[in-house]
Structure 1
Amino acid sequence: MIRRHAARRAGRDELSRAHPDFQQVSPQAGLLDEPALRDLATRDPEAASRLLTAMGRAFDPGLRAAARALACRLRVGAPRSGVPDRPGTRRVVTRQDDTGSDLDLDATLAARGAEPHWRAAHLHTRGWRSTGRACVLLVDASGSVAGDELAVAVLTASALAQRMRPDDELAVVAFWSHAVVLRPLSADPRTDVVVDRLFDLRGGGTTDLDLGLRTAAAQLARSRAATRDVLLLSDGVPTESPDPLPAAAALVRAGARLHVLSLSAEPESEAGCAALAATGGGRVEALRRATDAPAAVRTVLG
């Protein structure tokens, strides 16, 4: 499915026409001049991010590999620092399920209340849960989100990976009329596979937000992390989808939050993103430029 949805490759002539600084950054086949790209980033960060993304889709395999390797190790923001907000690695919590090691009698009796009969939903147990964060980056790869927006996705994935602590988990899901798990939920901090697959995606198809949210929820269901978030990168406009708000509300019931990075300034888009974040118990933040991705991630995730 990823292969059928793969991005078109660009030749050197096409890259030269589209990016005035291309010849300075890649003076010959297979070569990426990192100092020249850093100089461009100092002068015009957006042009540098667009060029890096374009080179990551080049016909030239050497240039393509160099651009993708550089994208994996970009420094996109300072890591979290200061007093740890999650001391230790695990803590005991009460859960509304039977997976804990001990019965939480008080919580179970409170859940039953005055009901005459016991139900499975009344059962609460206590067990160990990681104090880390599980986050699913949910990338809208539909026809309404294409081109430069996928450069935003690459930098957002890098920003999330660089924020990871040892107990944190990250998954990446792309969706359009289908949903593809580009990276299953994992504590592995490497971004190379995710970056490769994000570079290879191109916009196309319709936007099934409901499917994307349900796929993200399935990834989070595998985690015992104390904090669980979905970070949706989208214009917030479903073009062929059931109402996505029930799926957003289901995330809250499962103990997760839905944050939205809004890619469009259109009123319909802003309203859709705001409604999703409000229903999902999270925050919404405008993200119009790739270089703003690290700051936007910090704003919504803290």
Structure 2
Amino acid sequence: MAAAARAFDPGLRAAARALAARLPLGTPRRGTADRPGTSRVVTRQEPTGSDVDLDATLAARGAEPHWRAEHLHTRGWRSTGRATVLLVDASGSVAGDELAAAVLTAAALVQRMRPGDELGVVAFWSTAVVLRPLSADPRVDVVVDRLCDLRGGGTTDLELGLRTAAAQIARSRAADRQVLLLSDGVPTESPDPLAAAAALARIPARLQVLALSPEEEAMTSCAALAAAGGGRVAALHRPTQAPSAVRELLG
């Protein structure tokens, strides 16, 4: 599987697809099994809704003497599903088993999707690329192909990766928006990634972190990123841990 993660060979690519399709997921994602419809009207702190929520806007202003943009709350339709962006560290410090873990994590996310859910995939190293835009029908074979085609390497611009994932997740109208970072958490050439992690709350979205390395520095960095992004961290030190790690963080 590790070899398949960076392979052009059609046989290895087919093996990666087959393994992803047979991935044992255990119990289904927790929560309400049958949602009453795929969207609902919600109040949001943003100007893109169809109607101003006057009560929420006045409450946000409180006793402040002047209006500010962040006081404005509107009401609009939002999906009752979950939007997840898988953010994959493809830098030189991550290869082999780590790329295999990315394939299996993506497969676990696809297979746990419900109607109304969306999934996107972003990879980063010294740059960042959207491998798969947010979609309600991501298709596990397409996601696996994008990851198998990935040729990263070099330095780790974690802050750029987080900003790119944020731009993707902000497009969604899902009620539950998550960025799932798969990394050792250690930036080698990057502005402070903690600020980018904390900025996800303004979307709003949460940052969940799958820690690829058991090293103390890596685990500490991953925990700090998750805390800044309002999420949690789980260990993913072997590819076979992917399904259980996804369940631990996303339910």
TM-score (norm. length: structure 1): 0.78
1:219 aligns to 2:158 (yes or no): no
Which one of 195, 199, 204 corresponds to residue 255 of structure 1?
204
Residue aligning to 1:77: 25
Structure 1 residues 200 and 122 mapped into 2: Cα distance closer, same or farther (>3 Å)?
A: same
1:135 aligns to 2:84 (yes or no): yes
Which one of 76, 96, 105 corresponds to residue 147 of structure 1?
96
Please tell me the residue identity of whatever aligns with 1:167: G
Residue aligning to 1:233: 182
1:125 aligns to 2:74 (yes or no): yes
Please tell me the residue identity of whatever aligns with 1:165: R
CA distance in 2, matches of 1:206, 1:98: 37
Q: Deviations over 1:155-213 (max 9, x none)?
A: 00000000111100000000000001000011014122221121222451100110000
Give the 3-state SS of the residue equivalent to 1:226 in structure 2. Answer: strand
| 8 Å contact kept, 1:105–1:124 | yes
Q: How does 1:153-164 map to 2 (within 5 A)?
A: 153-164=102-113
Give the 3-state SS of the residue equivalent to 1:114 in structure 2. Answer: coil
CA distance in 2, matches of 1:58, 1:281: 36
| 8 Å contact kept, 2:82–2:177 | yes
Please tell me the residue identity of whatever aligns with 1:219: Q
Residue aligning to 1:165: 114
Structure 1 residues 259 and 59 mapped into 2: Cα distance closer, same or farther (>3 Å)?
A: closer
CA distance in 1, matches of 2:218, 2:118: 29
Q: Which runs of 5+ in 2 are unaligned?
A: none
1:64 aligns to 2:8 (yes or no): no
CA distance in 1, matches of 2:199, 2:92: 26
Structure 1 residues 163 and 60 mapped into 2: Cα distance closer, same or farther (>3 Å)?
A: closer
Higher relative contact order (CA 8 A, sep 6+): 2
Q: Deviations over 1:56-114 (max 9, x none)?
A: 655653x2343243144223303626761673222221111222222211111111222
CA distance in 1, matches of 2:185, 2:48: 35
Residue aligning to 1:289: 238
Runs of 4+ in 1 over 4 A off after TM superposition: 55-60
CA distance in 2, matches of 1:205, 1:86: 45
CA distance in 1, matches of 2:105, 2:200: 21
Which one of 203, 206, 209 corresponds to residue 158 of structure 2?
209
Structure 1 residues 60 and 296 mapped into 2: Cα distance closer, same or farther (>3 Å)?
A: closer
CA distance in 2, matches of 1:245, 1:239: 14
Give the 3-state SS of the residue equivalent to 1:131 in structure 2. Answer: strand
TM-score (norm. length: structure 2): 0.93
Give the 3-state SS of the residue equivalent to 1:281 in structure 2. Answer: coil
Residue aligning to 1:200: 149
CA distance in 2, matches of 1:237, 1:196: 26
Q: Which runs of 5+ in 1 are unaligned?
A: 1-51
Q: Whose Rg is larger?
A: 1
Structure 1 residues 163 and 59 mapped into 2: Cα distance closer, same or farther (>3 Å)?
A: closer
Please tell me the residue identity of whatever aligns with 1:67: A
Please tell me the residue identity of whatever aligns with 1:77: L
Please tell me the residue identity of whatever aligns with 2:17: A
Structure 1 residues 98 and 74 mapped into 2: Cα distance closer, same or farther (>3 Å)?
A: same
CA distance in 1, matches of 2:193, 2:7: 36
CA distance in 2, matches of 1:56, 1:142: 14
Q: Percent identity?
A: 74
Q: How does 1:267-278 map to 2 (within 5 A)?
A: 267-278=216-227
Higher mean displacement: 282-291 or 77-86:
77-86
